[in-house]
Chains A and B, each alone.
Chain A
Amino acid sequence: AQSVTQLDSHVSVSEGTPVLLRCNYSSSYSPSLFWYVQHPNKGLQLLLKYTSAATLVKGINGFEAEFKKSETSFHLTKPSAHMSDAAEYFCVVTSNQAGTALIFGKGTTLSVSS
C-alpha cells in the first residue's frame, strides 16, 4: 500500500528566500513520486517527477526535489522564492504496479510575502 504525508499544511517565506516543502512517503513497491502545483482556482500542473532514475530531480520554475530512500522522503526545494510561487503544492506517490492510482498528500499552501 502507498501513502504520503506532507509535514506542513502551510509554509510562509519572504520573496528571495529558500523554499522547503516536506514530504514523506510509504510504498510497498518501488515508488514513483511527483509534485504537483495548483494555483488559486486553477487545475493541477506537474512540477516534477521521480521514476527511479536520478535521485535529484529538476522541475519547472526552478524547483527540484531529492529522493532519499533511507529517509523515505521527497522534499521540494527552490533556492529563491518568487511571488508567483504562492500556490498549493501536492506530493503524490504511486507504485510501478499496473493498475494502481495516484495517492495525493493533503497539500501544503505556500505563501510568499514581499
Chain B
Amino acid sequence: NAGVTQTPKFQVLKTGQSMTLQCAQDMNHNSMYWYRQDPGMGLRLIYYSASEGTTDKGEVPNGYNVSRLNKREFSLRLESAAPSQTSVYFCASSEFNSGSQETQYFGPGTRLLVL
C-alpha cells in the first residue's frame, strides 16, 4: 500500500514549456486534489475532483488544467509554464469530499522550478 505517489519529484522547466505532473493513489479514494505550497502562504487548492469524472476549480486554477484519468489517477498540466508557477505541488486524496470524512492523505510533493 503505497498511499499517494507523485512523479516527478523534481523538475526544471523553461518559461513557455509544458509538463504534466502525475498523481496516483491506491486507497480506493473517491476524491483527489492538487495544491501548491509557497513560502508563507500555506497550501492553496488548485483543482480538485470530488469523484471520478468530475473536476472543479479551487482557489488558484489559472494556468493549470487537470484530468481525472480514472479513480486512481489525477494529473495536473501546465500548458505554458511561467516563473510564478515555481512552487512545490502536492497531490492528496480522501475517501469522500465531505467535511468530517475529509481526512486527506498527501503525496511527497513535486518541486518545480520555472526559469
Contact = CB atoms under 8 A, between A and B. Distances in A.
Given A97-B99, A101-B33, A106-B42, A42 B108 contact: yes
Among B56, B99, B107, chain A packs the most CB atoms within 10 A around the CB of B99
Which of under 10, 10 to 19, 20 to 34, or 35 or more describes the interface residues of B?
A: 20 to 34
Contacts of B56: 99
Interface residues of A, number: 27
A102 interface: yes
Given A44-B90, A90-B42, A102-B45, A34 B103 contact: yes
Interface in B3-58: 4, 33, 35, 40-45, 48, 50, 56, 58
A106 B40 contact: yes
Interface in A68-114: 90, 94-102, 104-107
Nearest to B98: A98
30 contacts: A34-B103, A36-B106, A42-B108, A42-B109, A43-B107, A44-B90, A46-B103, A46-B104, A46-B105, A52-B100, A95-B99, A96-B99, A96-B100, A98-B50, A98-B96, A98-B97, A99-B50, A99-B56, A100-B99, A101-B58, A101-B59, A102-B33, A102-B45, A102-B104, A104-B35, A104-B42, A104-B43, A106-B41, A106-B42, A107-B42
Interface of B: 4, 33, 35, 40-45, 48, 50, 56, 58-59, 90, 92, 96-100, 102-109
